[in-house]
Chains A and B, each alone.
Chain A
């Protein structure tokens, strides 16, 4: 069956990640009007966030609010969620396919003794009431549709794929506090090295401006950052640019980097190798700027400009500055 959904919301420093709302939207759509969509919210001082989950489709929110959950820990979060799942026995559990969601879900599924579908991009309900789950495999070179035999059916959902519901601030949800008893933790967070000036997370970005070997050097990313600023975009990169040391690996898009799904992806000086396409080919609109008219990126781009990016990108920045201001 797929009538009772548990969505594991994700927050970081008291802000809910977008994927939490995306999962609620998808659960709501699948559960139908008589179905039940519930959310779990873990952290410290997070109870006030519960109402936002209600606005986005949750009927009920289970809150585990405890100092022991301040920082994400696979062991602690697994214990709390396994107890909750055993108690409420949902048909389906959704977790975001974020770094921590992907860290948590396999541990939780294993504790519960069930299978797990990773990084899913589509769902429907089959004739027998079970979920038909679509997910890319081989870095997007094939797409499989699978079913899970065990219950609850557990899946992680790729961020930026599922549309959230329009928030309805008149919607209310019952809030139930759940007990937290996590025991000793063996792998503990002892520090965090924050990246400077990275406001927009690649996997959540609506717009990405991405650069490759065609930039010719690290200074190229300065030119791209100007454009990104105007568009409120995140900055991505090809592996060639990362390997050259022009930008940190956390910006890499592709098979060995991040998989992104923005509304707009602007590829500058990127040839469009299969491994790069693997990470961005599902973008809604792709723009390519490349001086080689034969570059494979033009085969997937919706719009292309053939030319020197050092000429085109600053012009684009200027034009957008004018147009978006007006």
Chain B
């Protein structure tokens, strides 16, 4: 089975996002990680390969030079090869653009299953996996917490978390699956894995290699301004013994905040 996993490198989820003069000061972001949902996607791909005892897991990213680290992490986890689409024309890409670049690249390779994260935790778009499915004319199942590939590898059964419960979906393959937390527990790269990662096939493509012109993948969103989130002022600690404090809290919620 040929499994393609889309991976994005994102700023560490712990850091403060440096916002200044209406934009993000990228140079101040020092720590990057593999998008957490993409780790679930990589892990799932590895487990499917292990279960069937055959197959190939190919990682693909669209990103600048630094994104190599994210691919190396995925290779160290056990993926077989990596494709890195790096082109200065892609700076400032949005979901619209990135989905089209990924689709053009994936069309060049064999695939039975495409795994994405449900969302990249930088732009929080939650679009690309689904857009990719449409561009490649494939079915998709999003926010998947359980995935079972049929013995004949021609279909899959997936569970997805929806309001009020879990939906069970059956899809033909190839398909795009977007991974939600709960799908699995991603493994840590082993020492051996880390050592081997740099020896695995690593291909770099530009837009020209994909036969794409920059205007074909021009973003459809224009960023006007970026601001820090509005400050939330600390409120007040209600003093007194528990009985008094609770009575006062209820009074405040009713009379001052008027929320109950």
CA distance A250 to B171 in the complex (A): 23
Mark contacts of B115-133 with chain A using CB atoms, 8 A cut-off: 1 yes-contact digit, 0 otherwise.
0000001111111101101
Partner of A187, one of B99, B140, B226, B250: B140
CA distance A207 to B236 in the complex (A): 20
CA distance A235 to B17 in the complex (A): 30
Residues of A within 8 A of B219 (CB): 115, 149
CB <8 Å contact, A141 and B167: no
| Chain A contacts with B in 270-326, Cβ cutoff 8 A | 274-275, 281, 284-287, 293, 298-307, 311-312, 315-316, 319-320, 323-324
CA distance A324 to B250 in the complex (A): 10
The distance from the CB of A163 to the nearest CB of chain B, in whole angstroms, is 15
Residues of A within 8 A of B209 (CB): none
Given known A118-B124, A146-B223, A148-B221, contact A103–B168 (CB-CB < 8 A): no
Given known A74-B140, A149-B221, A298-B234, contact A143–B36 (CB-CB < 8 A): no
Cβ of A231 under 8 Å from chain B = yes
A-B contacts at CB below 8 angstroms, number? 250
Given known A106-B130, A312-B242, contact A303–B221 (CB-CB < 8 A): no
The distance from the CB of B29 to the nearest CB of chain A, in whole angstroms, is 10
Cβ of B247 under 8 Å from chain A = yes
Cβ of A68 under 8 Å from chain B = no
Binds A, one of B43-51, B64-72, B158-166, B200-208: B158-166
CA distance A139 to B158 in the complex (A): 27
CB <8 Å contact, B234 and A300: yes
Cβ of A140 under 8 Å from chain B = yes
Partner of B162, one of A99, A116, A145, A312: A99
CB <8 Å contact, B238 and A142: no
Most buried by A among B133, B220, B234: B220
Cβ of B195 under 8 Å from chain A = no
The distance from the CB of A121 to the nearest CB of chain B, in whole angstroms, is 11
Residues of A within 8 A of B131 (CB): 106-107, 109-110
Residues of A within 8 A of B172 (CB): 186-187
CA distance A281 to B143 in the complex (A): 23
| Chain B contacts with A in 134-161, Cβ cutoff 8 A | 134-135, 138-143, 145, 157, 159-161
The distance from the CB of B155 to the nearest CB of chain A, in whole angstroms, is 9
Cβ of A84 under 8 Å from chain B = no
CA distance A204 to B252 in the complex (A): 24
Partner of A139, one of B13, B160, B245: B13
Partner of A306, one of B11, B122, B237: B237
Mark contacts of A60-73 with chain B using CB atoms, 8 A cut-off: 1 yes-contact digit, 0 otherwise.
00000000000000
CA distance A298 to B182 in the complex (A): 30
Residues of A within 8 A of B159 (CB): 193
Mark contacts of A249-269 with chain B using CB atoms, 8 A cut-off: 1 yes-contact digit, 0 otherwise.
110100111000001100000
Cβ of B56 under 8 Å from chain A = no
Residues of B within 8 A of A118 (CB): 95, 124-127
Given known A192-B167, A207-B260, contact A274–B14 (CB-CB < 8 A): yes
Residues of B within 8 A of A195 (CB): 164-166
CA distance A107 to B121 in the complex (A): 20
Cβ of A114 under 8 Å from chain B = yes
CB <8 Å contact, A142 and B24: yes
CB <8 Å contact, A302 and B235: yes
Mark contacts of B160-198 with chain A using CB atoms, 8 A cut-off: 1 yes-contact digit, 0 otherwise.
111111111111100100000110000000000000000
CA distance A105 to B229 in the complex (A): 26
The distance from the CB of B105 to the nearest CB of chain A, in whole angstroms, is 16
CA distance A299 to B139 in the complex (A): 45
Cβ of B108 under 8 Å from chain A = no
Residues of A within 8 A of B134 (CB): 78, 106-107, 110-111
The distance from the CB of B2 to the nearest CB of chain A, in whole angstroms, is 19
CB <8 Å contact, A301 and B121: no
Residues of A within 8 A of B232 (CB): 281, 286, 299-300
The distance from the CB of A150 to the nearest CB of chain B, in whole angstroms, is 5
Residue numbers of B with Cβ under 8 A of A are 11, 13-14, 16-17, 19, 24, 36, 94-96, 99, 121-128, 130-131, 133-135, 138-143, 145, 157, 159-172, 175, 181-182, 219-230, 232, 234-238, 242-243, 245-247, 249-250, 252-254, 257, 259-260
Known pairs A195-B165, A198-B164, A302-B257; list 11 more (Cβ under 8 Å).
A99-B161, A99-B162, A100-B162, A111-B134, A142-B17, A149-B221, A150-B96, A190-B157, A193-B165, A194-B164, A300-B232
